[in-house]
């Protein structure tokens, strides 16, 4: 086995050299990982069966899945493996089909910390479909299709997801069936693919096995959110070390090597970052853009630079991030020096907004939305006046972000809130900002509701809207939002599902669809959540 560059991997290698028998080997002492991720390092075989996902698979199953994107004629593909024994090769091979024959085009080495590898192939031909397969050893493989860029299509379709809760570890057959029936051009997972905090590798393998049959044949964007990196909420504050339980002081709770492992597994297949300069603790960044079929998707990191609230604003409840005081002043929360996206990402968004050569329409993809769009959290008797975990705070940073998105004439797509909503933001006036579609959770065990305290329609409510609480509202931060649709848990519908976004290039229209989890989209009369679909028209770039 080749020498690995990571100091932690070097410790693993030294320990492996002590004994060639994995059955009796003593696990290495790795301080950063003593209480983290029992299978992301090379002592996994000495552990008890993993309760999240069985990782002791037959060796012909060791290649779990791959993900890819293509941008600027560069293919980037990640390969995710199950844990490897010491005597197994760390080499993964990428093969493509040419003239009916499989041809190897690259080899890459697996990183023992997280068991992933990354391929980067330049001068990729985007004008044709190419069958591929990833191979490990003599028998393990994962096959799929690298699609051609669908520039000839008038409608480009994205399926979007969030919140793959560990309260349900079963398969995702209904999602696979529906997505493959709808056949979108691209997939987006906005975060919380893992809810297992200290055990990302097993949870990430489970996620991949649940959904690999929808992303083996199409480009897929995955970005981690707070639960993926082991935190209930995340205010990254440019990578500082968080010292408070819950992370409300800002920064990351877990060791930076763990954070880097999570991001390597989930984002290494994305196009190259706009500015790859690491933040504090050597943690990387991934904000970038991806063009598919003439639709330009900016991918941003809501949480990475955002200020933590603790010690910076007056606390208005038992938690620094929850406003429970009905008499608080929203303006008192918007203090000078507070950061949302940060200067680096704002620079990216403003430059991206002005680039329109070969671009038909634009969208911004992020973890969550730019306003407070949930009143009740967890139960119908738990009302928050404002939640600082949303991107409605800090308000000045929110308005800067929305102004950049508006400049691009883009829509915004995210998740995280468990509750699906469709709003048009207001910056200076109601309805002068961009649209945001927050998609429903894949599994919605922690429910939220849009439920105004006065139970009245907003100003300028559309009487033809079948939902009662729509129209113009001020959220808990005094931000202007126009609520158009929401998918409150109700009856047998718990608010879980997925979003579908249709970009019609010739008509300059975007249609937002919101599908319940248990509905078969191919059934005659299959219905979306009340209020959807909803269509908007965008101005020309």
The candidate with the shortest Cα–Cα distance to 401, out of 346, 465, 470, is 346
457 is written with which tokens? 């329609």
| In the chain, domain spans | 7-146, 155-537
CB 295 within 8 A of CB 156: yes
pLDDT at 41: 77
pLDDT at 539: 77
Phi then psi for 295, rounded to 5 degrees?
Answer: -100, 125
Cα–chain-centroid distance for residue 493?
Answer: 24
CB 174 within 8 A of CB 492: no
CATH of 7-146, one of 1.10.3720.10, 2.60.40.380, 2.40.160.20, 2.40.50.140: 2.60.40.380
With b for 16 or more beta-carbon neighbours within 10 A and e for fewer, the 400-439 pattern comes to bbbbbbeebbbbbbbbbbbbbbbbbbbbeebeebbbbbbb
Q: 457 to each of 329, 335, 381, 417, 469, how far by Cα in Å? A: 23, 31, 20, 22, 4
pLDDT at 53: 97
Tell me the longest C-alpha to C-alpha distance in the chain.
74
HEC-encoded secondary structure of 70-131 = EECCEEEEEEEECCCCCCCCCEEEEEEEECCEEEEEEEEECECCCCEEEEEECCCCCCCCEE
The candidate with the shortest Cα–Cα distance to 166, out of 208, 202, 203, 198, is 203
pLDDT at 435: 98
Which CATH architecture fits 155-537? 4-Layer Sandwich (3.60)
DSSP 346-413: HHHHHHHHH--TT--EEEEE-SS-SS---SEESSTT-B-SEETTSTT-SHHHHHHHHHHHHHTT-EEE
User: Which residues in 172-265 belong to E strands, given as ranges?
Assistant: 186-189, 220-222
With b for 16 or more beta-carbon neighbours within 10 A and e for fewer, the 20-50 pattern comes to eeeeebebbebebbeebbbbbbbbbbeeeeb
Strands 186-189, 155-164: pairing is parallel
**Rounded to an integer, what distance in angstroms lies between the CA atom of residue 369 and that of residue 223?**
15
Map tokens 């329609």 to a residue. Answer: 457
DSSP 12-55: HHHHHHH-S-TTTPPPP--GGGTTS-TTSSTTGGGSPPPSSS--
406 is written with which tokens? 């508006």
Q: What angle do CA 6, 220, 339 make, to 5 degrees?
A: 70
If DSSP codes are grouped into helix, strand and coil, which group holds residue 281? helix
pLDDT at 28: 44
Q: 128 to each of 101, 143, 264, 290, 353, how far by Cα in Å? A: 16, 17, 28, 18, 29
CB 301 within 8 A of CB 288: no
Q: Which pTM does this prediction carry?
A: 0.94
Q: Which residues pair with 449 in a beta bridge?
A: 376
**Rounded to an integer, what distance in angstroms lies between the CA atom of residue 337 and that of residue 72?**
37
Mean pLDDT by 10 residues, the chain (541 residues): 39 34 41 76 85 96 98 98 95 96 97 96 98 97 98 98 96 97 98 96 98 98 97 96 93 95 98 98 98 98 96 89 91 95 97 95 97 95 93 97 97 97 98 98 96 95 96 97 97 93 97 97 96 91 48
With b for 16 or more beta-carbon neighbours within 10 A and e for fewer, the 321-336 pattern comes to bbbeeeebebeebbee
**Rounded to an integer, what distance in angstroms lies between the CA atom of residue 223 and that of residue 541?**
27
Phi then psi for 430, rounded to 5 degrees?
Answer: -60, 135
pLDDT at 36: 85
**Rounded to an integer, what distance in angstroms lies between the CA atom of residue 222 and that of residue 161?**
10
């Amino acid at each position: 086995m080749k020498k690995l560059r990571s100091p932690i991997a070097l410790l693993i290698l030294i320990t492996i050299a002590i004994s060639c028998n994995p059955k009796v080997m003593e696990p290495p002492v790795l301080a950063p990982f003593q209480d983290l991720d029992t299978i992301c390092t090379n002592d996994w075989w000495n552990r008890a069966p993993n309760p999240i996902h069985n990782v002791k698979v037959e060796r012909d199953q060791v290649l779990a899945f791959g993900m890819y994107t293509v941008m600027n004629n560069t293919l980037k593909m990640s390969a995710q493996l199950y844990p490897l024994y010491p005597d197994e090769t760390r080499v993964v091979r990428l093969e493509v089909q040419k003239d009916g024959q499989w041809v190897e085009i690259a080899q890459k080495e697996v990183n023992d910390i997280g068991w992933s590898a990354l391929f980067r192939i330049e001068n990729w031909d985007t004008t044709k479909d190419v069958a591929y397969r990833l191979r490990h050893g003599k028998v393990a493989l994962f096959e799929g299709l690298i699609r051609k860029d669908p520039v000839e299509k008038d409608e480009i379709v994205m399926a979007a997801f969030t919140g793959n809760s560990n309260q349900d570890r079963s398969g995702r057959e209904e999602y696979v069936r529906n997505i493959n029936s709808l056949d979108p051009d691209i997939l987006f997972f906005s975060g919380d693919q893992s809810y297992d905090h200290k055990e990302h590798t097993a949870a990430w393998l489970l996620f991949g096995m649940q959904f690999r049959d929808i992303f083996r044949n199409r480009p897929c964007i995955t970005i981690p959110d707070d639960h993926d990196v082991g935190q209930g909420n995340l205010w990254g504050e440019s990578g500082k070390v968080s010292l408070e339980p819950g992370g409300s002081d800002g920064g990351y709770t877990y060791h930076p090597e763990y954070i880097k492992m999570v991001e390597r597994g989930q984002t290494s297949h994305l196009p190259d970052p706009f500015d790859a300069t690491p933040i504090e603790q050597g943690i990387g960044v991934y904000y970038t853009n991806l063009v598919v079929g003439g639709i330009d998707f900016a991918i941003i990191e809501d949480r990475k630079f955002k200020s933590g609230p603790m010690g910076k604003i007056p606390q208005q409840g038992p938690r620094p991030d929850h406003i429970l005081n009905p008499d608080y002043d929203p303006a008192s929360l918007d203090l000078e020096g507070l950061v949302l996206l940060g200067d680096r990402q704002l620079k990216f968004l403003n430059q991206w907004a002005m680039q329109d050569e070969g671009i038909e329409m634009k969208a911004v993809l992020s973890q969550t939305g730019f306003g407070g769009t949930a009143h009740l959290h967890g139960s119908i008797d738990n009302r928050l006046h404002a939640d600082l975990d949303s991107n409605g705070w800090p308000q000045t940073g929110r308005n800067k972000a929305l102004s950049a998105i508006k400049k691009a004439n883009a829509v915004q797509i995210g998740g995280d809130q468990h509750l699906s909503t469709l709003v048009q933001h207001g910056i200076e006036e109601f309805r002068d900002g961009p649209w945001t579609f927050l998609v429903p959770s894949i599994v919605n065990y922690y429910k939220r509701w849009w439920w105004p305290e006065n139970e009245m329609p907003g100003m300028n409510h559309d009487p033809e809207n079948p939902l009662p609480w729509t129209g113009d509202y001020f959220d808990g931060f005094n931000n202007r939002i126009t609520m158009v649709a929401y998918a409150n848990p109700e009856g047998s519908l718990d608010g879980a599902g997925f979003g579908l976004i249709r970009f019609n290039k010739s008509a300059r229209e975007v249609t937002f669809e919101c599908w319940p989890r248990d509905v078969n989209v191919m059934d005659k009369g299959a219905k979306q959540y009340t209020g959807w679909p909803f269509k908007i028209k965008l101005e020309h770039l």
